[in-house]
């Protein structure tokens, strides 16, 4: 195999004819495959079914004297706060345990900034001329959409192998209109980047011009290695406090990829001062979240150590799937010099950078051949990848045999798109 850019026009034409023939063959199979969203597989969901039988008798539903079936405790059961504090390395008093979706807690925190203002806000953000928001990219599409829906101006910050480009961040936060920043510090979505210790320190010690700057620290994949041992991570709350930024940070996590995405438990960890301010405001909209589900999780997951053991069982299911994708890329694409990717150790995605200007075309070809992928551009603010290059691959949902077919078709499509771009 030879790099496409080093081929003569005739060689490229011959390669194109061969790849196109492969493509037509695959298309004729009429497959329906999906590598679009980071969903756990049925096998993973089935693995945790015991959680549904931990609460049976009436007395099972009582935790620390609190009847989980009844109203109250808007910030969650103490036992649930203790479980998340153990996992995140923060204090139980800093944890607000919510419903099934951490995304809802994130949306709600930002929504409160707009409607009520935060603890250190001069006024609600809805009364401001302009709100700007830092979006390390490639990043998580749903994050970007949350801040976009409130009308913030999204500013792209390039991601590096160590996390966001901090020189750029430190420059941008001098602007008081810059009110916050998205982060996925461990196994970032989609690249699987783990922020370096130095990047994390630079973030924790930032001095933004906005007094109510929100450091959104979405630790969605904090215990989600599929390769190797658990990698410890810093407690961002105490690091921020160390630099006088205790009220700047809002950390999020959930059990969506530990138990059930449709019925897990989420947490927002932030300073006690922030919680004292936010709790009464949140209490207007709900008397309490689903504490039965919180208790089910407490009884089933028990503590950090026990949860990490479960994560190794998830890893055993996920690992072969990631290997299927990465091996196919190594074998089919690496020698051709038409794309790059990283080898993540955890998280739910592989991020593929296609030859610039070909991502949209490659995914259109995939769609025609029955393979659904996350739309090109989704990993950038406003859904616009300026280089039309980044593609997010989600290998978790399909069984390995289907994934083999899907990634084979994907490789054919990125080859075709690259050959078209180079000219045939």
Contact positions toward ligand PMP, by CB under 6 A?
38, 101-103, 140, 184, 189, 218, 220, 254, 256, 261, 266
Separation between Cα atoms, residue 416 and residue 18, nearest integer Å:
10
Q: Which is nearer to ligand PMP, 140 or 213 (CB)?
A: 140
Separation between Cα atoms, residue 411 and residue 341, nearest integer Å:
13
Q: Which is nearer to ligand PMP, 101 or 317 (CB)?
A: 101
Number of H helices, E strands in the chain: 13, 15
Q: Which is nearer to ligand PMP, 86 or 141 (CB)?
A: 141
Separation between Cα atoms, residue 385 and residue 10, nearest integer Å:
32
* CA-based R_g, the chain, Å: 23
Shortest reach from residue 342's CB to ligand PMP, in Å? 16
Shortest reach from residue 140's CB to ligand PMP, in Å? 4
Shortest reach from residue 60's CB to ligand PMP, in Å? 25
CB atoms closer than 10 angstroms to residue 399: 11
Q: Which is nearer to ligand PMP, 36 or 239 (CB)?
A: 36
Q: Which is nearer to ligand PMP, 185 or 288 (CB)?
A: 185
CB 97 within 8 A of CB 265: yes
Peptide bond into 190 cis (omega under 30): yes
Q: Which is nearer to ligand PMP, 16 or 221 (CB)?
A: 221
What are 354's two structure tokens?
């296609």
Separation between Cα atoms, residue 57 and residue 162, nearest integer Å:
49
Q: Which is nearer to ligand PMP, 12 or 321 (CB)?
A: 321
Shortest reach from residue 288's CB to ligand PMP, in Å? 18
Q: Which is nearer to ligand PMP, 23 or 380 (CB)?
A: 380
CB 220 within 8 A of CB 229: no
Instruction: Show Cβ contacts of residue 106 under 8 Å, excluding neighbours closer than 6 positions.
Output: 143, 146, 216, 218, 250, 252, 268
Shortest reach from residue 173's CB to ligand PMP, in Å? 22
Shortest reach from residue 262's CB to ligand PMP, in Å? 9
What are 104's two structure tokens?
């809802």
Q: Which is nearer to ligand PMP, 103 or 338 (CB)?
A: 103
User: Phi/psi class of residue 88: alpha, beta or left (left: φ > 0; alpha: ψ in -120 to 50)?
Assistant: alpha
Instruction: Show Cβ contacts of residue 197 under 8 Å, excluding neighbours closer than 6 positions.
Output: 234
Question: What's the burial of 96, exposed, middle or buried (CB within 10 Å: 0-12/13-18/19+)?
Answer: buried
Question: What's the burial of 269, exposed, middle or buried (CB within 10 Å: 0-12/13-18/19+)?
Answer: buried
Shortest reach from residue 326's CB to ligand PMP, in Å? 19
Q: Which is nearer to ligand PMP, 261 or 346 (CB)?
A: 261
Shortest reach from residue 130's CB to ligand PMP, in Å? 26
Separation between Cα atoms, residue 327 and residue 341, nearest integer Å:
12
CB 346 within 8 A of CB 230: no
Shortest reach from residue 39's CB to ligand PMP, in Å? 8
Shortest reach from residue 257's CB to ligand PMP, in Å? 7
What are 192's two structure tokens?
């699987």
């Amino acid at each position: 195999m030879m790099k496409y850019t080093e081929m003569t026009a005739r060689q490229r034409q011959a390669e194109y004819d061969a790849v196109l023939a492969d493509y037509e063959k695959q298309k004729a199979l009429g497959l329906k495959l999906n590598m679009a969203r980071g969903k756990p597989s049925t096998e993973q969901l089935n693995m945790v079914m015991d959680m549904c039988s931990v609460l049976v008798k009436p007395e099972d539903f009582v935790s620390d004297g609190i009847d989980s079936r009844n109203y109250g405790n808007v910030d969650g059961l103490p036992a649930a706060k203790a479980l998340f504090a153990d996992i995140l390395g923060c204090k139980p008093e800093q944890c607000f345990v919510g419903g099934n979706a951490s995304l809802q807690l994130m949306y709600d925190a930002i929504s409160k900034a707009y409607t009520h203002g935060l603890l250190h806000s001069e006024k609600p953000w809805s009364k401001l001329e302009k709100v700007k928001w830092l979006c390390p990219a490639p990043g998580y599409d749903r994050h970007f959409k949350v801040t976009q829906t409130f009308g913030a101006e999204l500013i792209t910050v390039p991601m590096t192998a160590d996390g966001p480009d901090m020189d750029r961040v430190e420059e941008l936060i001098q602007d008081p209109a810059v009110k916050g920043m998205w982060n996925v510090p461990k196994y970032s979505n989609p690249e699987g980047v783990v922020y370096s210790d130095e990047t994390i320190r630079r973030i924790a010690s930032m001095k933004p011009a906005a007094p109510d700057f929100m450091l959104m620290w979405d630790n969605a994949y904090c215990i989600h290695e599929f390769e190797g041992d658990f990698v410890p991570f810093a407690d961002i709350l105490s690091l921020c406090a160390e630099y006088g930024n205790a009220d700047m940070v809002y950390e999020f996590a959930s059990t969506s990829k530990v138990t059930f995405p449709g019925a897990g438990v989420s947490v927002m960890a932030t300073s006690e001062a922030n919680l004292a301010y936010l709790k009464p405001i949140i209490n207007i909209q709900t008397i309490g979240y689903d504490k039965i589900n919180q208790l089910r999780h407490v009884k089933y997951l028990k503590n950090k150590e026990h949860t990490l053991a479960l994560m190794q069982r998830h890893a055993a299911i996920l690992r072969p799937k990631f290997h299927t994708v990465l091996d196919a890329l190594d074998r089919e694409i690496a020698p051709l010099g038409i794309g790059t990717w990283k080898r993540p150790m955890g998280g739910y995605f592989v991020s593929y950078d296609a030859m610039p200007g070909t991502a949209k075309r490659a995914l259109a070809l995939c769609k025609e051949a029955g393979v659904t992928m996350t739309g090109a551009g989704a990993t950038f603010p406003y859904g616009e990848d300026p280089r039309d290059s980044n593609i997010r691959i989600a290998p978790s949902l399909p069984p390995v045999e289907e994934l083999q077919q899907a990634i084979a078709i994907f490789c054919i499509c990125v080859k075709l798109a690259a050959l078209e771009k180079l000219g045939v």
